[in-house]
Structure formats: structure tokens, C-alpha cells
């Protein structure tokens, strides 16, 4: 999928960072130690009955919800035989993604340009825009 990669550069120091990132990426993806984490952030708190049923274990409720939301993604990973871990969080999605990246030493975030709320011809969704702004690491926005 990533045969021909275009690195756009103006010779600035930021473009140099981008060049280093390309080299890093090429190297990392041959590296068996890399870890892939799927993160799903739940926007709405669990209902009372979900919480009661789970004995106030919020994580388990979120995992169940996330499992449904990202089932097709998990399937893709399983088919490609790529190992991953599923993580969940509760709160504003952009905050959740950025916080997770900060606290877990994430080196690269990959997100879609639009999401479920896609309407009209806006280029970037609100989550991808905020993540691009606030992330502590490089962000790859996939169109």
C-alpha cells in the first residue's frame, strides 16, 4: 500500500523532521517489536444499568461498547495476522486520544480525516483537527 511515498520538503527544520519520520517509519515497520494499539474513546458515559450489571467496572462496559464499535477493524487485523491491543477511554474523543498518547509514550498517531459525523465537504473532522493540533507526537491523517 505504501510503495511510493512522497516526502514534500522545503528544506526547513520541520521538513527535516518529516524526513526523519519517513526514515524512522520505514525502519520501524520491519521491526518486530513495534506495538500497535487500537484506541476507542467512548463519548457518552455508560448507563446506570450497564454500570450496575458490570459491578461498577467502567472499563469492562467500555470494552464491550468498543468491541461492537471496532469489530470490523479487529477483524481486519486478525485476517492480516497483525497483533494489536485494544484500549478504551471515556470522555471527549480528541482529549482521550491526546491524553493516551501523552501518558503512553506513543510515537505516531494514525487517524482518519473524517469520522462518523462526516457531513458535507469539510476536509477534517473535529477530532482529527484537534488531535493534529494537540498531539505530543507526529500525526498521520489518512484520507
Partner 1 sequence: MLKQVHELRNSWFSNLRLDILAGITVALALIPESIAFSIIAGVDPMVGLYASFCIAVTIAFVGGRPGMISGATGAMALLMITLVANHGLEYLLAATVLTGIIQIVCGLLKLGRFISFIPHAVMLGFVNALAILIFMAQIPYFVGEGWLVYGLIAATLGIIYGLPRLTKAVPSALVAIIVITTLSVAMGFGVQTVGDMGHITRAFPVFALPNIELSLQTLMIILPYSLTLALVGMLESLLTASIVDEMTHTKSDKNREIRGQGIANTITGFFGGMAGCAMIGQSVINVKSGGRGRLSSLVAGLFLIFLILVLGDVVMMIPMAALVGVMIMVSVGTFDWQSITNLRRVPIPDTLVMVSTVAVVVYTHDLAKGVAVGVILSAIIFGWKIAKITMAEELLADGTKRYSVQGQLFFASTSKFVNAFDVLGDPERVIIDFSDSHVWDHSAVNAIARILQKYKKAGKDIAMVGLNAASEKIINDIGVDAPSGH
Ligand X SMILES: Nc1ncnc2c1ncn2[C@@H]1O[C@H](COP(=O)(O)OP(=O)(O)O)[C@@H](O)[C@H]1O
Binding site for Mg ion (CB under 5 A): 115-117
| Residue 46 found at the interface with ligand X (CB under 6 A) | no
Please state, in angstroms and rounded to a whole number, the distance separating the CA atoms of residues 32 and 120: 40
Q: Print the binding letters for residues 4-43 with partner 1: x by CB under 8 A, - otherwise.
A: ----------------------------------------
Identify which of residues 36 and 52 has a Cβ nearer to ligand X in the complex.
36
| Residue 121 found at the interface with partner 1 (CB under 8 A) | no
The item of partner 1, Mg ion, ligand X, none sharing an interface with residue 112, based on CB under 5 to 8 Å by kind, is ligand X
Distances (CA, A) of 38 to 50, 69, 74, 137: 23, 12, 9, 16
Closest CA to 141 of 120, 124, 119, 121: 124
Element (H, E) at 141: strand 139-142
Q: DSSP secondary-structure letter at 126?
A: H
Element (H, E) at 139: strand 139-142
Binding residues for ligand X, total number by CB under 6 A:
17
Residues in touch with ligand X (CB under 6 A)? 39-41, 43, 93, 97, 111-112, 114-118, 125-128
Residues in touch with partner 1 (CB under 8 A)? 45-53, 55-59, 62, 89-92, 95, 99, 103
Amino acid at each position: 500500500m505504501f510503495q511510493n511515498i512522497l516526502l514534500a520538503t522545503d528544506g526547513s527544520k520541520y521538513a527535516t523532521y518529516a524526513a526523519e519520520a519517513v526514515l524512522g517509519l520505514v525502519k520501524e515497520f520491519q521491526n518486530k517489536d513495534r506495538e500497535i494499539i487500537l484506541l476507542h474513546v467512548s463519548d457518552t458515559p455508560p448507563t446506570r444499568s450497564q454500570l450496575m450489571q458490570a459491578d461498577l467496572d467502567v472499563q469492562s462496559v467500555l470494552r464491550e461498547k468498543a468491541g461492537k464499535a471496532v469489530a470490523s477493524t479487529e477483524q481486519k487485523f486478525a485476517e492480516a495476522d497483525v497483533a494489536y491491543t485494544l484500549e478504551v477511554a471515556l470522555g471527549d474523543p480528541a482529549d482521550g486520544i491526546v491524553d493516551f498518547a501523552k501518558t503512553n509514550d506513543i510515537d505516531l498517531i494514525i487517524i482518519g480525516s473524517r469520522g462518523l459525523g462526516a457531513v458535507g465537504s469539510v476536509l477534517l473532522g473535529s477530532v482529527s483537527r484537534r488531535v493534529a493540533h494537540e498531539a505530543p507526537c507526529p500525526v498521520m491523517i489518512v484520507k
